[in-house]
Structure formats: C-alpha cells, structure tokens
Chains A and B, each alone.
Chain A
C-alpha cells in the first residue's frame, strides 16, 4: 500500500513538473506579426537561428496584404496581446507612437549600442522616427522596400523589335530613363504579338481598396514635382499638392493606364502585377522590390529573361520613388517585452542581417548594403540600392488612414473611372486633406 502511494505521488509530481516545464517554455515563445508574403517565409527561416541561440521559440501571425492593416491596426487599437513583435507599415509609425502602441526604443538602443547611423538614412526616417527627422525611435528598420520596375529583357533584346523600335522612336530599346520613354516602350508593346501571344505594355498599380493606386500614382507624381506641403509652412498644401506639375504627373499616370495596361487591370496591386508579369502578359511591371527575388527565380520569366530598372525621371529631371518597407517594433501591450527586445538586438547583428539579405529579405544595414560585394550579389541588388537612394513616403501622420482613403478615391475616380480632370482630383485632394488636418486640430 505504501509503495503504491509513493508511486502515485511520484507520478503526480512528475506530471506536475513536466507541465510546469512546458508552461515555462511556452511563456518564452514570442509572436511576431507581419504580412503574408515571400519575405515573411525568409524571416521564419532566419528566426530559427534566434531560437537556437536563445531558446526562445518564435510563433508567427501572417496576414495577407489586403487585410494586413485592418487586422493589425484593430489588434493594436484594442490593446491586444497577440503580437509581441510587429513589423508594421511605415505609415503607421505616427499613429502607433502617439497612441502608445509601440515601445520607444531610444533607451534600449543606447544600452545595447545599436546606432541608427548604421542603417540606410531613408529607412531610419521612413520606418523608425516619429516625429519625422527627430531622434525618437519607435522601430528598427527591418525590411527595406521601394517601388521599382522589372522588364522583359528577352523581348527587349529581340533584334527585329529593336530595329522597329529605333525606326519608330529614334532611340535604342532599353530600360527607360524618363517617364516619356517608359510610355513610348509601353505603347510599342501594347497589343503586340510575341511568340504567338498578345502582350501589353505595362502593369501599374490601380487598386482601389487599400493603398494601391496611391502608391502607383505617387511614384510618378513625385518626379513630376508634386509635394505634400509647403517646406516652409507645414500642412500648407495649396499650390504644392495641386501644382501645375503635379497635375501633369497625374495626367501622365492616367494616359499610361488608358494606353498601355492589360484589359481589365482596373484594380491591380502587388499580386495582380506579379501575375501579369509571370504569365507573360506585360513588357514592364511596376512593383515593390520585395517581389524581385521571387521573379528572378521564376522558370518562365526569371533568370536571363528579366531585367530591373529604377523609377524613371520626370520631365524636369527629378527622380523619386515611393518608399515601401517596414520597421520592427515591440508592442507595448506585450507581456514579453524583454524577450522581444532580445530579438531586436539579435536582428540588428551584422551577420544576421547578411543572412537576411541572402534569404530574400532586404536588409537596411549599411554594413550589408554598402559592402563592395553587394551590387553583384543579386541581379537586382544595384537597382534596389539606386532606388533606395531616391525614396519619398506618403504621410505618416496619425491620421494617415483618412489621408490615404482620400487619395485612393480622388485618384481612382480620375485615373480609372475618368471622372473630372486631374486638376479637379488634386484640388479635391487638397480639400479632403485640409479637412483631415482641421479635424486633428493641426490647421
């Protein structure tokens, strides 16, 4: 009887102890929230090293881009504890900082000797700082991204097409240096028969629901002379947002949509663009650079068939590109902030960043991107570097959501639905944005 009691007690203790041990292990698990896309898979692979080094397990919550903002902004607004770490979009930084969603990282950076000077400056301003251009850091640059272009190198190098193009336009068919050249190439390829198939000029962003058409149109508008506000007077937008040059830029974007996109491409964003390029429908393709590693590896359009170029120059020679990408932040509602900070410290390491790039992520660390071997490390590395040097970003104000919704509506109404003029659209945008800033008490 005694021995059986001992046995029972022993078993009970063993079960209790094993449960406790497993609870401890789970308590250390971190959940990282991000979008469901190729770089996220690379991060899963990379994070295995973190678990090996620290014993801290990693769980991931990836949401498709179409629901990414809705899902995670809801999570942050409701003070949810789902995410310990979040790779949030660059435009969220203002709202996340002012509403207390992110942990301020200045003290942590000082303590761990992580310097923001070690990162590409544009990414620090774009992903980490709020207010902009002040040393207040809410994230560490994690995934550099920018809008650029891919083209069908194999089509561009066909001798008969080169000859015909030169005869028609007077210059050699190749990656365009200006937007006018880009449109000429797009017109040249539109509805052309190549290898027995009808192809089209270019795939551009036209999506209405989230941020697509704004990201695409801004890519052109910046280089045409659009400015968000008077550099000397914040939030003064009249004559900057709707300047004559900006109007010309928007007219150009509509002309490009009307002349040279595939049929039915009225709601096209990242996924649709990749599909159009991969299926051999288009000669050129506007998209964020995160899509490039996947396209490079594609059997049908990758390898020697694909080329990359930086967003072209506007008529006045100005050249800018829309910033994408994100920084990694610690969620202030997380109970595991210490472990989350450990992850950020590990992620800032040069070797980890180098591996991040090799796996298909885009490192923002100078030590990686300024390495002399970097431009030759991938066929798209130089175009990525050149693009990152000319970035501009959308408003990152706490009210970025209504600001974005206004531009989505105004641009789509004009570019896709053909309602009103470019001037009407930009005048309307000034009115909408002014209203948003008035509601915020900033005007």
Chain B
C-alpha cells in the first residue's frame, strides 16, 4: 500500500523538479550531511593537533605574544626526554595505571560474576554498585577529601576503629607513602562499576548451551570457569582494561582535586606536570612537545594492545 503511494507521488512529481533532486548523487548527499561534522572535527581536533606539533618545535610562550618565535628543532623533545622530573612523573603514572587497572579488573570481574548469578534483589544491588560511576569527578574528589581528613574524616575514623591507630595519625593525603594509595582507592571505588558492566556484558553473551554441554560432560564448576567463562569473557575484560588504561594514563581530575600532585611531587602524574608547564609556567612549545610524546606513547601502546585483543577474539 505504502509502496503504491510512493510510486504515485513519484509519478506525479513534475519532471523538472525530479531532475533537480536527481542532480545530487547519493555520494553528494552523503557528503552534504557529514560535512558539518567533518569541518567541526577538523577545526577542533585535527587543526589543534597539527598546530601543537608545529609549536613543539618552537620556543613559543603563550604569555609572551610579542616575543619572536624561534625554531628550536628537536631541542624541546631532547630536554623532556632528558629531564629526570619527567621520568619520575611517567613512573608515577605507570604506578597508578598498573594498580588501578589490576584492582578494578579483579573487583569488577568478581562483582560481575556475582551479579550474573541472578540472586534475589540482584537488580537493586547492580544499581547501587553503579552509583559511584554516575557521580561527577569533582564531587567525588571533594567528598573524598573530606573523608580523608585526619581530624574529621570518616575514613580515618574507620581505619582508626579497626587498627587502633589514632585518626590524626592517618594522614592519607599528606603522607608520602599513603597519598598515592589514597588516589588509587578513590579511582577504584569510582570506576570498578564501569569494568563490572563491561564484564557483565561479556558473561551474559556466553550461550547457556555451552554450560549445559559441560554439565553433561560432568565438568566441575572450577573447570567450567577456567575453560568457558574466563576465555569467552576475556575479550570483554581486555576491552575494559584498554578503556581504563587510556583514561588513567590521562588521569588529572582526581589527582588535582585530592592531592594536587603532592605531597611534594609524590603523586605528580604526567598530566599534572603537563598542566603546570603549559598553564602555570607558560612554556607552550615545551608543553606541546610533552603532549605529543604522551600522545604517541598512548597511541602506540593502545595499538599494540588492540592487536593483542584481536588475536584473543580470533581464537
């Protein structure tokens, strides 16, 4: 019925008008629709990237607009790669990435596995577990700062209650050894639900008949977990690790809100160093080079990882 109506409309369309519409090919029409997005991407992503690459070879400083911009070649890159403080910041970043991913994956997968059991009230618990992920990082950072307060913080009081150490001695954000862990704890608390969600999607994608076949073969629960659950959920786990890895490599908001990189430079991750160089010391050329190095590092590592992920999927 609809087709017939469309045919009637097409037949009734005057020939000159039909020719006009037919003048734009399908490809042309497609370009017409996507060109605003492409232009926007070029303006806000691609152009700044190339501009940053150009600036990274200069001594440009954004707070010295009248100064002559000199070409420094690779001097900025050499200086960054030879700077001890930059390497310390990279090590700090690696430390955060490693521990947050390890904890989030372990806890996230365990939670997903438990939720997948479909016990009574599992929907309620799933929603409750997801709450931290839905909060704004600014809110999370600020309230955890209060929780960690040695004099009034709930966290210090709980630890004090359990361990018997006076709460004023538990200085999570001021103590050099504890400060990195204070950030790892908050990041794990906030983003484990995200990993859990992805893992849950993986677990739910495993067909039931595989487990039924395993039951027929009298495979134990442990055997089923190692031979079916884990291998089939692995691509999803790896995907979660990839997303969290990229995010945590760029980690800024939580560190900035909780410790600001301190005490001293104990929690100064690469993104904090970058921000200080770019917007506090105004070394625009230098910080552009640093940003490019970070970009290449993340891009390279992510590519290697994606190749590994594809291999796992093909198995």
Binding site for B on A (CB under 8 A): 70, 73, 77, 79, 95, 98-100, 208-209, 262-267, 398, 401-402, 405, 409, 412-414, 416-419, 439
A412–B64 CA distance with the chains assembled, in angstroms: 28
**B264 x A401 contact (CB < 8 A):** no
Kindly name the residue among A100, A263, A401 whose own CB sees the greatest number of chain B CB atoms within 10 A: A263
**B64 x A99 contact (CB < 8 A):** yes
Residues from chain A with Cβ under 8 Å of B171 in the complex: 263-264, 266
CB contact between B173 and one of A99, A267, A405 (< 8 Å): that residue: A267
Residues from chain A with Cβ under 8 Å of B264 in the complex: 208, 409, 412-414, 416-419
Given contacts A267-B173, A267-B263, A412-B263, 9 further A-B contacts (CB under 8 A): A99-B64, A100-B66, A208-B263, A264-B149, A264-B171, A266-B174, A413-B264, A414-B264, A416-B262
**Minimal Cβ-Cβ distance residue in A for B261:** A208
Q: If A208-B260, A401-B282 touch, does A266 touch B63 (CB 8 Å cutoff)?
A: no
Confirm or deny: B104 has a beta carbon within 8 angstroms of a beta carbon on chain A: no
A220–B263 CA distance with the chains assembled, in angstroms: 21
Residues from chain B with Cβ under 8 Å of A100 in the complex: 66
A401–B65 CA distance with the chains assembled, in angstroms: 15
A417–B280 CA distance with the chains assembled, in angstroms: 21
Tell me what chain A mostly uses at the interface: helix, strand, loop, or mixed.
Answer: loop
**B151 x A263 contact (CB < 8 A):** yes
Interface residues of B in 251-270 (CB under 8 A from A): 259-266
Confirm or deny: B283 has a beta carbon within 8 angstroms of a beta carbon on chain A: yes
Confirm or deny: B105 has a beta carbon within 8 angstroms of a beta carbon on chain A: no
Residues from chain A with Cβ under 8 Å of B280 in the complex: 70, 401, 405
A413–B262 CA distance with the chains assembled, in angstroms: 8
Confirm or deny: B150 has a beta carbon within 8 angstroms of a beta carbon on chain A: yes
**Minimal Cβ-Cβ distance residue in A for B268:** A409
Interface residues on B, range: 20 to 34
Residues from chain A with Cβ under 8 Å of B176 in the complex: 417-419
- Please name 15 pairs of A and B residues whose Cβ atoms are closer than 8 Å in the assembled complex, sorted by A: A98-B66, A99-B64, A100-B66, A263-B168, A263-B174, A264-B171, A266-B171, A267-B173, A267-B263, A401-B281, A409-B264, A413-B264, A417-B265, A418-B264, A419-B176
Tell me what chain B mostly uses at the interface: helix, strand, loop, or mixed.
Answer: loop
Q: How far is the CB of B53 from chain A (nearest CB, A)?
A: 21
**B266 x A73 contact (CB < 8 A):** no
Confirm or deny: B279 has a beta carbon within 8 angstroms of a beta carbon on chain A: yes
Confirm or deny: B306 has a beta carbon within 8 angstroms of a beta carbon on chain A: no
CB contact between B263 and one of A95, A263, A417 (< 8 Å): that residue: A417
Contact mask B185-218 → A, CB, 8 Å, 1/0? Answer: 0000000000000000000000000000000000
Q: How far is the CB of B303 from chain A (nearest CB, A)?
A: 34
Interface residues of B in 206-264 (CB under 8 A from A): 259-264
A89–B183 CA distance with the chains assembled, in angstroms: 33
A414–B264 CA distance with the chains assembled, in angstroms: 7
A204–B264 CA distance with the chains assembled, in angstroms: 16
**A77 x B63 contact (CB < 8 A):** yes
A419–B85 CA distance with the chains assembled, in angstroms: 13
Residues from chain A with Cβ under 8 Å of B151 in the complex: 262-264
**B263 x A416 contact (CB < 8 A):** yes
**B276 x A412 contact (CB < 8 A):** no
Residues from chain B with Cβ under 8 Å of A95 in the complex: 63-64
Confirm or deny: B43 has a beta carbon within 8 angstroms of a beta carbon on chain A: no
CB contact between A70 and one of B64, B149, B263, B279 (< 8 Å): that residue: B279
Kindly name the residue among A70, A100, A209 whose own CB sees the greatest number of chain B CB atoms within 10 A: A209
Confirm or deny: B297 has a beta carbon within 8 angstroms of a beta carbon on chain A: no
**Minimal Cβ-Cβ distance residue in B for A415:** B264
Q: How far is the CB of A286 from chain B (nearest CB, A)?
A: 18
Confirm or deny: B288 has a beta carbon within 8 angstroms of a beta carbon on chain A: no
Interface residues of B in 120-163 (CB under 8 A from A): 149-151
**Minimal Cβ-Cβ distance residue in A for B264:** A417
Residues from chain B with Cβ under 8 Å of A414 in the complex: 264
Q: How far is the CB of A402 from chain B (nearest CB, A)?
A: 4
Q: How far is the CB of B23 from chain A (nearest CB, A)?
A: 45
Residues from chain A with Cβ under 8 Å of B62 in the complex: 77
Closest A-B pairs by Cβ, 4 of them: A417-B264, A266-B174, A413-B264, A402-B281
A418–B263 CA distance with the chains assembled, in angstroms: 9
Confirm or deny: B56 has a beta carbon within 8 angstroms of a beta carbon on chain A: no
Residues from chain B with Cβ under 8 Å of A264 in the complex: 149-151, 168, 171, 173-174
Q: If A264-B149, A264-B171 touch, does A209 touch B282 (CB 8 Å cutoff)?
A: no
A370–B205 CA distance with the chains assembled, in angstroms: 82
**Minimal Cβ-Cβ distance residue in A for B149:** A264
Confirm or deny: B59 has a beta carbon within 8 angstroms of a beta carbon on chain A: yes
A77–B65 CA distance with the chains assembled, in angstroms: 7
Q: How far is the CB of B271 from chain A (nearest CB, A)?
A: 14
A95–B283 CA distance with the chains assembled, in angstroms: 14
A190–B83 CA distance with the chains assembled, in angstroms: 40
A413–B63 CA distance with the chains assembled, in angstroms: 27
A268–B173 CA distance with the chains assembled, in angstroms: 12
Residues from chain A with Cβ under 8 Å of B65 in the complex: 77, 79, 99
A131–B143 CA distance with the chains assembled, in angstroms: 46
Q: If A264-B151, A264-B171 touch, does A99 touch B66 (CB 8 Å cutoff)?
A: yes
**Minimal Cβ-Cβ distance residue in A for B166:** A263
Q: If A264-B151, A413-B265, A417-B176 touch, does A402 touch B282 (CB 8 Å cutoff)?
A: yes
**B262 x A266 contact (CB < 8 A):** yes
A98–B61 CA distance with the chains assembled, in angstroms: 14
Q: How far is the CB of B70 from chain A (nearest CB, A)?
A: 11
Residues from chain B with Cβ under 8 Å of A405 in the complex: 276, 280-281
A413–B279 CA distance with the chains assembled, in angstroms: 21
A402–B285 CA distance with the chains assembled, in angstroms: 14
**A263 x B262 contact (CB < 8 A):** no
A111–B45 CA distance with the chains assembled, in angstroms: 51
CB contact between B150 and one of A209, A263, A398, A402 (< 8 Å): that residue: A263
A402–B62 CA distance with the chains assembled, in angstroms: 13
Q: How far is the CB of A282 from chain B (nearest CB, A)?
A: 12
A265–B168 CA distance with the chains assembled, in angstroms: 11
**Minimal Cβ-Cβ distance residue in A for B169:** A263
A67–B168 CA distance with the chains assembled, in angstroms: 30
**Minimal Cβ-Cβ distance residue in B for A417:** B264
Residues from chain B with Cβ under 8 Å of A73 in the complex: 63, 282
A100–B66 CA distance with the chains assembled, in angstroms: 8
Kindly name the residue among B151, B261, B263 whose own CB sees the greatest number of chain A CB atoms within 10 A: B263
**Minimal Cβ-Cβ distance residue in B for A439:** B59
**A209 x B63 contact (CB < 8 A):** no
Contact mask B274-308 → A, CB, 8 Å, 1/0? Answer: 00100111110000000000000000000000000
